[in-house]
């Protein structure tokens, strides 16, 4: 495994970081607790020292399972990354920016973006309890909240750093102008954004800005929620309540299928899976610090961890980029 310094902080994160969205269950067609905890143990056993989660993932369940999984382990060798700013329990009293309606066991829960100082502090205390720890390595604003001044949110995170409750502060889903505004109050350690072979928009402005200002980039959805594993084209069926049924419709699936068929032999020649090739490609792109990879069981976690061992030659990179250009 390769370990990388995050922005201007002292944090070193594993280049492949365990993304714990799916183990929360909501929006992913459910989950199995034992498999989820085993996936975390397998990640840790194979060099993945960093785990990224959020209170919203499973409405607290993801954080709770991580807390259970790391209990008794050397906390100093694990980096916990979590978030704040999505409120679903009504504690915001209607304040904030309405985001969408989520569903939990048949019940509709209105989700708000809410990043007031009081809410940041409240959410961190709840996350610490669920995670079973007394500090968070990287705290991230989950989504921008247009109703709260950016400086108020940044000041709250600065206070938490001073109190020792978080080691570093970052954001997620921020544009360059939003990064610029946030950095006026607090130098942001990182920005967590969507990035994949099929979604490279950040290369235009966010990557150059982050490199220039020494901010890390943590990328999510490198596999486009499983689409780039190729399994969808071989198995095809998703559960009715799986959000990916709608998500995949944004892509030209015939072109994606052809692209994957073209690059899969590159993976096969290395004795690697298509997923591992995609993860390694993502991890070596300019400006990318950490790649989040979800795993719902131990086998998937081990496969993800081993992706960094793959070597991709310049000729192979050129071939992959040539095929990518045909996607339009």
Domains of the chain plus CATH, in order, are 3-253+270-309 (3.20.20.100)
* Long-range contact set of residues 27-32: C-beta below 8 Å, sequence gap at least 24: 27/102, 27/242, 27/243, 28/242, 28/243, 28/296, 29/238, 29/239, 29/241, 29/242, 30/239, 30/241, 31/58, 31/296, 32/296, 32/297
* Cβ-based burial of 236 (10 A; exposed 0-12, middle 13-18, buried ≥19): exposed
For residue 26, pLDDT over 70 is answered with no
What's the pLDDT score for residue 229?
Answer: 87
User: Among candidates 272, 166, 288, 303, which has minimal Cα distance to 222?
Assistant: 288
pLDDT digits (tens, 9 = 90+) for 94-104: 899 999 998 88
pLDDT digits (tens, 9 = 90+) for 232-264: 777 666 666 666 777 887 888 889 899 999 999
Report the run of H or E that residue 191 belongs to, with start and end: strand 190-194
Q: How far apart are CA 308 and CA 283, in angstroms?
A: 8
Using pLDDT thresholds of 50, 70 and 90, give the confidence band for residue 105: confident
What's the pLDDT score for residue 143?
Answer: 98
Report the run of H or E that residue 200 belongs to, with start and end: none
For residue 281, pLDDT over 70 is answered with yes
For residue 307, pLDDT over 90 is answered with yes
Q: What is the pTM of this model?
A: 0.92
Tell the residue number behind the tokens 């280049």, with chain if given.
15
Contact residues for 259 (Cβ-Cβ < 8 A; gap 6+): 197, 323, 324, 326, 327
For residue 39, pLDDT over 50 is answered with yes
Higher pLDDT, 232 or 81: 81
Share of the chain above pLDDT 70, in %: 95
**Helix extents (H) in 86-243:** 117-131, 150-162, 176-183, 206-212, 231-235
What's the pLDDT score for residue 27?
Answer: 43
What's the pLDDT score for residue 16?
Answer: 98
What average pLDDT does the segment 67-86 reach?
Answer: 96
What average pLDDT does the segment 178-206 reach?
Answer: 97
| Tokens (6 digits) for 284 | 């070596």
What's the pLDDT score for residue 162?
Answer: 97
What average pLDDT does the segment 197-214 reach?
Answer: 97
What's the pLDDT score for residue 238?
Answer: 66
Q: How far apart are CA 138 and CA 111, in angstroms?
A: 23
Strands 12-14 and 290-294: unpaired
Share of the chain above pLDDT 90, in %: 80
What's the pLDDT score for residue 21?
Answer: 87
What's the pLDDT score for residue 28?
Answer: 41
What average pLDDT does the segment 306-325 reach?
Answer: 96
Using pLDDT thresholds of 50, 70 and 90, give the confidence band for residue 309: very high
Question: Which of 46-50, 62-66, 227-231 is the least confident region?
Answer: 227-231
User: Among candidates 209, 177, 191, 93, which has minimal Cα distance to 142?
Assistant: 191
What average pLDDT does the segment 99-123 reach?
Answer: 93
Known catalytic membership, residue 57: yes
Q: How far apart are CA 278 and CA 196, in angstroms?
A: 8
pLDDT averaged over every residue in the chain:
92
Q: Which of 3, 57, 112, 174 is catalytic?
A: 57
Instruction: List, in sequence order, every beta strand (DSSP E) within 31-188.
Output: 50-52, 79-84, 86-87, 97-104, 107-113, 136-141, 166-172
pLDDT digits (tens, 9 = 90+) for 123-167: 999 999 999 999 999 999 999 999 999 999 999 999 999 999 999
For residue 29, pLDDT over 50 is answered with no
What's the pLDDT score for residue 172?
Answer: 98
């Amino acid at each position: 495994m390769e370990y990388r310094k995050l922005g201007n902080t002292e944090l070193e994160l594993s280049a492949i970081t365990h993304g714990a969205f799916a183990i929360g269950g909501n929006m992913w067609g459910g989950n199995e607790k034992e498999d989820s905890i085993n996936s975390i143990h397998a990640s840790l056993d194979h060099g993945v020292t960093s785990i990224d989660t959020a209170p919203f993932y499973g409405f607290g369940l993801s954080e709770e399972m991580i807390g259970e999984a790391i209990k008794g382990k050397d906390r100093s060798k694990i980096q916990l990354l979590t978030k704040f700013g999505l409120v679903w329990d009504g504690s915001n009293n209607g304040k904030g920016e309405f985001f969408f309606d989520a569903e939990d066991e048949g019940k509709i829960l209105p989700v708000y973006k809410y990043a007031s100082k009081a809410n940041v502090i409240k959410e961190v205390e709840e996350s610490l309890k669920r995670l079973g720890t007394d500090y968070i390595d990287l705290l991230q604003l989950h989504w921008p909240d247009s109703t709260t001044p950016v400086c108020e949110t940044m000041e709250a995170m600065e206070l938490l750093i001073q109190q020792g409750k978080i080691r570093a502060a970052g954001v997620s889903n921020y544009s360059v102008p939003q990064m610029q505004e946030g950095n006026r109050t607090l130098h942001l350690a990182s920005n967590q954004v969507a990035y994949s072979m099929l979604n490279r928009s950040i290369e235009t402005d966010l990557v150059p800005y982050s490199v220039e200002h020494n901010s890390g980039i943590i990328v999510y959805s490198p596999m486009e929620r499983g689409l780039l594993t190729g399994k969808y084209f071989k198995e095809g069926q998703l559960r009715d309540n799986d959000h990916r049924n709608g998500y995949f419709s944004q892509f030209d699936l015939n072109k994606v299928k052809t692209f994957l068929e073209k690059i899969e032999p590159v993976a096969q020649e290395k004795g690697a899976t298509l997923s591992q090739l995609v993860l390694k490609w993502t991890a070596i792109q300019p400006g990318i610090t950490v790649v989040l990879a979800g795993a719902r069981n131990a086998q998937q976690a081990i496969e993800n961890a081993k992706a960094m061992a793959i070597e991709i030659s310049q000729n192979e990179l050129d071939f992959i980029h040539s095929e990518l250009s045909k996607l339009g």
